[in-house]
Amino acid sequence: MLSLHQLRCFLATYEHGSLTAAAEELGYAQPSVSEQVRALEKTLGVPLFRRVGRGVVPTTLADTLRPYAEQAIAASEEARRAVQSAVSLESGTIRFGMFGAARLYAGAQIVADVLERYPGVRVELIGQHSNEVQEQLRRGHLEAALIAATSVESEGMTVTPVARDELVYISADPSRLRSPVTAARLARASLIMPETTWRSSDSVRILLRRFLHEAGHNPQTRIEVEEAEISVDLVGRGLGDSVIPRAAAEQLVPRLAPNVGWVSLRPKQYDVMAIVHRRGAVLSPAAQVLIEIATRHIRSIAEPV
Amino acid sequence: MLSLHQLRCFLATYEHGSLTAAAEELGYAQPSVSEQVRALEKTLGVPLFRRVGRGVVPTTLADTLRPYAEQAIAASEEARRAVQSAVSLESGTIRFGMFGAARLYAGAQIVADVLERYPGVRVELIGQHSNEVQEQLRRGHLEAALIAATSVESEGMTVTPVARDELVYISADPSRLRSPVTAARLARASLIMPETTWRSSDSVRILLRRFLHEAGHNPQTRIEVEEAEISVDLVGRGLGDSVIPRAAAEQLVPRLAPNVGWVSLRPKQYDVMAIVHRRGAVLSPAAQVLIEIATRHIRSIAEPV
DNA sequence: CGAAAGCATAGGAATCTCCTTGGGAAGCCG
DNA sequence: CGGCTTCCCAAGGAGATTCCTATGCTTTCG
């Protein structure tokens, strides 16, 4: 089988026209290089050098081989460099999981920050929703992620809470925003909720469900949509009210539905944002960088835990 | 040190997302592939796969590495193909030595014949003069050559006579062409000779020198030029006469000096054309092809030995 | 002709490669 | 939940490869 080592010996010999000189350049003894070149000739089944007097002379087949050998060697060296620079974050990809809502109001800024610090890097923010992200983590497709975690424990995962964000009740009707919304009032409200697909595991839903249950009520929604933006838009049109994290409200409401206001729940409810990764995993520099930046960001727009 | 084998294992693993599947594809046992991948990770100093549950998942560094690995592998495979196709004369270079005069009247046709049979190859006809060619042979820069050999022996070389070409006396004066030229007459002639640079070792010169010496004369030339064409041209202008191989005369005279005629020497003298290569050398298919074609050609325009 | 240069060969130590066997963790299924 | 399968890692050993030193042979050069 062809090997890079053989090609390296071949090229050095070709360039110097001498096995001895090639050996010196490569830091080997002369017979070693001789052996490698002979092995290459054997695997290719052709003579590459004529042994003539003292010295060796490349055949035309060696001329034919040379450019390919150079390309293979070059590719292997570039591979080294590329990987090294990816490690040092001069290039390469940082892949990080992030749930939908966080992407909405922090994603862009996080990407911008990473790029400012590491201009050569590619950034991928993966995942629509924290549960999907958690699944990818479990499967190893993601190294780490920022998720909205209902509980701070998760099997086989290390979860590090970063910040909490209050859930607020949003409505286009100012009369409903005069005082904090209790479970009783929430149970009577006509709710528009996003994340339909994840309805059973979405952390906001879980919080609300618990909130209502504890007061003896059952949750009920009027309208189910997929995107948080759409639910805010619908709330703006007066078709119902909703409950979303405050940071999301601050981000989406002015843009999509300026007539909408918000008020706390009573008692206040908090969605916890956490960094999560496989237990015992060694995080790459890239992941560590993104964790650091994401953490700082989330803390700047939400309350510390 | 990076090796192609490691890269092959890496790529197979990357593509299958599994060491076991990669091993099956490559025809190895699973631990072997595992070891290669681990060795690659060690030499690069970075993790390429995350071992997660069952299966392995490429890291972003693996993504970074992959295109380079593919390029290196592809280059090595193309190297194989290129060399094979050069061996089978679908491509590659045929390099062959040939002395000046033969190039004049057979070179073009030989190249044309080779290209007709092997459309993909490059042809290089090397060498101005048989002595220069012989030197390149000795140094191993040429595999084989067609030379004008005075003697059929040459140190360390195998010389195979192919054809002989009679030397003829050419002149613009018909009176000097009525009968074959003897040594005595030649000694009195005003000669224009080509190949000045090689005057001491040119085969025609050597033949003439011997021819004259045996009759007790000394050779003397009136005009020395480098190119056979120029000497013929000068003969046509009546500035002197010359001695050249008959095939050269047949080729050059009608074109350059139609008023020139030729006559044999007495006794007739022959320049011998021969294939020569290093003693004991195994000739490549390319060289054999060219030898065959050149031999056929020379025989068609000169006498067999 | 002797000295130097340069490749080939030989033999041995160290390393690598690749296998087989066995163990453990994770997922799958009844 | 418990057994079964899958897939990876670890260990050990046989065989091949690599790489060295020492040496011999041929060519070249003074």
Taking only the tens place, the pLDDT of each residue in A46-98 is 999 998 877 899 999 999 999 999 999 989 998 998 898 888 887 778 888 88
Instruction: Measure, in angstroms, how far nucleotide C9 C1' is from residue A38 CA.
Output: 13
CB-CB neighbors (< 8 A) of B135 in chain A? none
Average pLDDT over residues B98-112: 75
B227: distance to nearest CA of chain A, Å? 30
Quote the percentage of chain B above a pLDDT of 70: 95
User: Is residue B104 scored above 70 in pLDDT?
Assistant: no
Chain A window 124-163, residues with Cβ within 7 A of nucleic strand C: 138-139, 156
Q: What whole-number distance in Å separates Cα of residue B274 and Cα of residue A282?
A: 74
Higher pLDDT, A45 or A219: A45
Does residue A53 sit at the B interface (CB-CB below 8 Å)? Answer: yes
Cβ–Cβ under 8 Å, residues B75 and A71:
yes
Distance A67 CA to D12 C1' (A): 43
User: DSSP labels for B138-197?
Assistant: HTTS-SEEEEEESSS-BTTEEEEEEEEEEEEEEES-GGGGSSPEEHHHHHHS-BEES-GG
**CATH of segment(s) B94-304:** 3.40.190.290
CA of A54 to C1' of C3 (A): 15
Helix (H) or strand (E) holding B58: strand B56-58
Superfamily of domain A93-160+274-304, CATH level 4: Periplasmic binding protein-like II (3.40.190.10)
Phi and psi at residue B200, to the nearest 5°: -80, -20
Q: Please give, rounded to a whole number of angstroms, the shortest distance from the CA of B161 to a CA of chain A.
A: 24
Shortest distance, CA B24 to any CA of chain A (angstroms): 18
Please write the tens of the pLDDT for every residue from A143-201: 888 888 765 566 678 888 888 889 999 999 999 999 999 999 999 898 998 877 777 77
Q: Which of B289, B301, B304 is nearest to B160 (CA)?
A: B304
In this prediction, residue A140 has a pLDDT band, given cuts at 50, 70 and 90, of confident
B11 CA to C17 C1' distance (Å): 19
Contact predicate A3/B5, CB 8 Å = yes
Burial of B64 (0-12, 13-18, 19+ CB in 10 A): buried
The CATH topology of domain A163-270 is D-Maltodextrin-Binding Protein; domain 2 (3.40.190)
Query: Closest nucleotide to B54's CA, by C1' atom?
Result: D7
Nucleic strand D under 7 Å from the C-beta of A270: no
Residue B284: phi, psi to the nearest 5?
-70, 160
Give distance CA B32 / C1' D15 (Å): 15
pLDDT of residue A55: 85
Give A56-89 as a DSSP string.
EEE-HHHHHHHHHHHHHHHHHHHHHHHHHHHHTT
Query: Bigger pLDDT: B187 or B131?
Result: B187
Nearest Cα to A91, choosing from B3, B41, B39, B67? Answer: B67
B201 touches strand C (CB under 7 A): no
- CATH architecture of the domain A4-86 equals Orthogonal Bundle (1.10)
- Report which of residues 26-85 in chain A place their beta carbon less than 7 angstroms from any atom of strand D: 27-32, 35-36, 39, 52-54
Give the pairing type, strands A181-182 and B49-51. Answer: unpaired
> Tokens at residue A236, please?
């703006």
Contact with chain A for residue B112, Cβ under 8 A: no
Predicted structure pTM score: 0.81
CA–CA min distance B114, chain A (Å): 16
Q: Are strands B144-149 and B270-278 parallel, antiparallel or unpaired?
A: antiparallel
Q: Residue B5: its chain A contacts at CB < 8 A?
A: 1, 3
At A117, phi and psi to the nearest 5? -80, -35
What mean pLDDT comes out for the span B185-210?
A: 83
Q: What does the alpha-carbon distance between residue A243 and residue A112 come to, in Å, rounded to a whole number?
A: 29
Most B CBs within 10 Å, among A64, A125, A279, to test the B interface: A64
Q: Does residue A3 have a pLDDT over 70?
A: yes
Q: Is A45 on the interface with B (CB under 8 A)?
A: yes
CA distances, B140 to each of A26, A165, B292 (Å): 25, 81, 21
Q: Where are the domains of chain B?
A: 4-86, 94-304
Q: Which of B274, B243, B271 is nearest to B134 (CA)?
A: B274
Give the contacts of B165 (CB within 8 A, at least 6 positions apart): B245, B246, B247, B248, B270, B271, B273, B302, B303
